Amino acid sequence: MALSPSVAAKPASYTAVAKLLHWVLALALAGIFGVGLYMADLPFSPLRLKLYNWHKWAGITILTLSVLRLLWRFTHRPPPLPIAMAQSMPKWQHWAHEGTHYAMYALFFIVPLLGWAYSSASGFQIVVFGVLPLPDLLSANKELAETIKPLHGLAAWALCGLVVLHVAAALKHHFMDRDGLTGRMLP
């Protein structure tokens, strides 16, 4: 019995663990970015201190999730693009597809590590959930902290831009191309 064209053409899906890590990380990134934007302009207050601590905890959580996600990806290769799609894509789209993913993975680590370094250089140890003190990455140095702070922000904005590009590509595949590619990562 032959498969219907829609079943035969359905791209291979990611594993359930990969999907879970993808969506948890996506929600965490959206949340931490929003909190980061909001807290940055608050006057010094107990709320600002609380949000900065939550932001740091979320950053360490994102770093941990990123390690788990990368380990999972190394041990569970993602499904390949469908052959017909891979052959019909222009070279620049292949480059954009690969480059965006590699850059996002790099920034999943760079952004929280810069935040951790900034916190350390500012003289504020990160104590995750108020109970787990993390070692400082750097000695306290206010001048170095002022150098790292904008790098953390720029890296966060770069990650945000890549996430927007990633979402735009997913929406293009879903609504314009209707090629079933986004279904590979849907729960």
Query: At 145, is the secondary structure helix, strand, or coil?
Result: helix
Residue 57 contacts residue 128 (beta carbons within 8 Å): yes
Per DSSP, 45 falls in state S
Reported as half-sphere exposure (CB side, CA atoms, 13 A), residue 142 has a value of 0
Determine the topology of domain 13-184 in CATH. Fumarate Reductase Cytochrome B subunit (1.20.950)
Taking alpha carbons only, the member of 22, 4, 2, 8 closest to residue 182 is 22
pLDDT of residue 11: 73
pLDDT of residue 17: 97
Query: At 186, is the secondary structure helix, strand, or coil?
Result: coil
Where do the structural domains in the chain lie, given as residue ranges? 13-184
pLDDT 10s per residue in the chain (187 long)? 444 444 445 678 999 999 999 999 999 999 999 999 999 999 999 999 999 999 999 999 999 999 999 999 999 999 998 888 888 889 999 999 999 999 999 999 999 999 999 999 999 999 999 999 999 999 999 999 999 999 999 999 999 999 999 999 999 989 998 888 899 999 8
